[in-house]
Amino acid sequence: MALTGIQIFKLLPKTNCGECGVPTCLAFAMNLAAGKAELDSCPYVSAEAREQLAEASAPPIRPVTIGSGDTAVKVGGETVLFRHEKTFFNPCAFAGALKDTDGDIADKVKRWAKLQWERVGLNLRPELVFLTCASGDAGKFAAAAKAVTDNSDLSLILACEDPAVLGPVAEQFKDKKPLLYAATQANADKMCAIAGATGCPLVVKGVDLEDVMALTAELTEAGLKDLIIDSGARDLAGIFEDNISTRRAALLKGNRALGFSPISFANAVGADLAEQTVAAAAMVAKYSGIIVLDDFQAESIFPLLLERLNIYTDPQRPMTVTQGIFEIGGPGPDSPVAITTNFSLTYFIVSGEIESSRVPTWLLIKDTEGLSVMTAWAAGKFSGDDVGMFVKKSGIDQKVNHKSLIIPGYAAAIAGDLEEELPGWNIMIGPREAGHLPKFLKEWKA
Ligand code: SF4
């Protein structure tokens, strides 16, 4: 059970030194209890108190990682009911369903793994395969799992409620950290032993939330921490209700037995992929950690990925791209050099227009904390001095044989200061609207 602010306060040094960013230990304790502060912000907590406070400072929904390496996916770790309260941290993962008796596993996972899109510097894609053992044969189940891992970088959910079949396959694939599905009242002891021995996360499947709570309490008591829950609901209303009840119980009541991310089966809601996709959209919005569909088609998964991107974007922080030099269209020493801000929308519009101009260009992106050109200029984050310093440090002068810099038309006011900061450079004022860049670049001369 999470500690209250007063209980936390009793464990703090009570020196009110303010180094944690708030003036008193009491204020810090209250923030910690509300999930608004990190325990590490106080450097003076004793080891003993730290141990006791670990539970209070842990996210109410336990984060769980599935898979290994670059394509491992983390779900859970959420601290709020609504994204505008803070943000949602770990996007839900999409799983495509397969059976070990299917004949086209390799082809299907190859197709699924290719469904990837770049948006605002992020890679959008489905991540998981929910592989059911329909054969009842460990050898066939393992061969199907191998077909998935040999032909894609998708991570596995190994679905088999018979510990005698799941055990050896989980052992064989334990380095890939598959999610094991599922522990029930009938097999909890043996599933607990398999998850403990392999170090793999485990789904707890109940007939309802009461059943899930009894099982998670039993398994956490036995030392398992990385759990995902399945309330047993298979209709959209039931899944929706259970997901909301779970999140509210974990966040508002500190119910640790429900402090786990749910897996939801959109493919149980309907046989038709369009119907499953609509159901999955509701599950993305309301707290599912993993969503299982029967198939991924570009037209079904892409809207879900975009919805997920929107919901799991921090509403308090503008999306940004990294500061630096971006090469667009393979520029050379004679190519134009342009500069703009690191607001991701600005970057993608400007880079898109440069691409469409077919004029290879060096695009300098200056960190303005995600502000667009006019806002950054007004806030003093795109001043002549700042931009000049950045251009000098960027090393662009080593890549081109001219000293001509195109600045955004909306930042024309910085031209004078910039010329002073960059002696010898020709500061050219570009168009105000990115849409006019192609014409400008085609006519550009250093
Ligand atoms: Fe108290 Fe620690 Fe914050 Fe200092 S840094 S005020 S000791 S909680």
- Domain presence at residue 195: yes
Tell me, yes or no, whether 352 lies in a domain: yes
Q: Give me the DSSP letters along 250-273.
A: HHHS--GGG-SEEEEEHHHH-SSH
- Among 81-85, 304-308, 328-332, where is mean pLDDT lowest? 81-85
Q: Is 440 helix (H, G, I), strand (E, B) or coil?
A: helix
Q: What residue's CA is closest to ligand 1, atom 2? A: 42
Residue at a domain's end among 57, 73, 99:
57
Domain end among 22, 37, 57: 57
To test the pocket of ligand 1, the residue of 6, 8, 11, 12 to mutate (highest count of ligand atoms within 8 Å of its CB) is 12
The pLDDT of residue 132 is above 80: yes
Which burial class, exposed, middle or buried, applies to 223 when counting CB atoms under 10 A from its CB (0-12, 13-18, 19+)? exposed
Q: What is the pLDDT of residue 169?
A: 98
Do 411 and 339 fall into the same domain? yes
Position 274 scores a pLDDT of 97
- Please state the rounded mean pLDDT for residues 113-133: 92
- pLDDT for 1 equals 52
Please tell me the total count of domains within the chain. Answer: 3
Identify whether residues 366 and 414 lie together within a single domain: yes
Dihedrals φ, ψ of 189, to 5°?
-60, -45
* DSSP letter string, 181-213: EEE-TTTHHHHHHHHHHHT--EEEE-SSHHHHH
Whether 185 and 292 share a structural domain: yes
- Ranking 26-35, 136-145, 248-257, 396-405 by mean pLDDT, the lowest is 26-35
The whole-number pLDDT of residue 49 equals 87
Q: Is 416 in the pocket of ligand 1 (CB under 6 A)?
A: no
Q: Are 196 and 86 found together in one domain?
A: yes
Given pLDDT bands bounded at 50, 70 and 90, which one contains residue 105?
very high
Residue 283, ligand 1, Cβ within 6 A: no
User: Is 41 within the bounds of a domain?
Assistant: yes
Domain end among 261, 278, 311: 311
pLDDT in tens, 152-168: 999 999 999 999 999 99
Asked whether 18 lines ligand 1 (CB < 6 A), one says: yes
CB of 145 closer than 6 angstroms to any ligand 1 atom: no
Of all atoms in ligand 1, which is nearest to the CA of residue 13?
7
Question: For residue 90, is pLDDT > 90?
Answer: yes
425 lines ligand 1 (CB under 6 A): no
Residue 408 near residue 432, CB atoms below 8 Å: yes
Domain shared by 195 and 95, yes or no: yes
Residue 297's alpha-carbon distances to 89, 116, 153, 270, 291, in angstroms, are: 26, 11, 17, 16, 15
171 and 248 within one domain: yes
Closest residue to atom 4 of ligand 1, CA basis: 17
Higher pLDDT, 148 or 47: 148
Range of the domain at 21: 5-57
Substitution site in 8, 44, 50, 57 for ligand 1 pocket (most atoms within 8 Å of beta carbon): 44
DSSP code of 337?
E
Q: What is the pLDDT of residue 56?
A: 64
Whether pLDDT at 53 is above 90: no
Residue nearest to atom 3 of ligand 1 (CA): 20
Residue of 9, 16, 26, 32 with the most ligand 1 atoms within 8 Å of its CB, for mutation = 16
Supply the CATH number for residue 114's domain: 3.20.20.20
Task: Please compute the mean of the pLDDT values over residues 336-360 and round it to a whole number.
Answer: 94
**277 and 179, same structural domain?**
yes
Give the pLDDT band (50/70/90) at residue 318: confident
Query: Which two tokens mark 30?
Result: 């209250």
CATH number at residue 370: 3.40.50.11600
Q: Which CATH number does the domain housing residue 47 bear?
A: 1.10.15.40
60-67 mean pLDDT: 94
Q: Is residue 319 part of a domain?
A: no
Does residue 316 sit within a domain?
no
Compute the average pLDDT of residues 36-46.
Answer: 86
Mean pLDDT of 339-345: 93
Enter the pTM of the model. Answer: 0.78
406 part of a folded domain: yes
> Is there a contact between 385 and 393 (Cβ–Cβ < 8 Å)?
no
Examine the domain organization and report whether 155 and 186 are in the same domain.
yes
Ligand 1 center to 15 CA (angstroms): 6
Query: Which residue bears the tokens 């050896």?
Result: 168
Kindly report which listed range (4-18, 61-75, 152-166, 176-190) carries the lowest average pLDDT score: 4-18
Q: Are residues 411 and 428 in the same domain?
A: yes
pLDDT at 30 exceeding the cut of 70: yes
- Residue 436 inside a domain? The answer is yes
Dist CA 119 CA 130 (whole Å): 26
Q: Are residues 162 and 123 in the same domain?
A: yes
Ligand 1 geometric centre to CA of 24 (Å):
6
Read off the pLDDT of each residue in 177-182 and give the average, rounded to a whole number: 98
What Rg do the C-alpha atoms of the chain give, in angstroms?
26
Q: Confirm whether 318 is domain-assigned.
A: no
Q: How far apart are CA 342 and CA 132, in angstroms?
A: 45
Question: Is 169 found in the same domain as 221?
Answer: yes
CA of 22 to the centre of ligand 1 (A): 8
Q: Are residues 123 and 264 in the same domain?
A: yes
Cα of 45 from ligand 1 centre, angstroms: 8
H/E element, 117 = strand 117-119
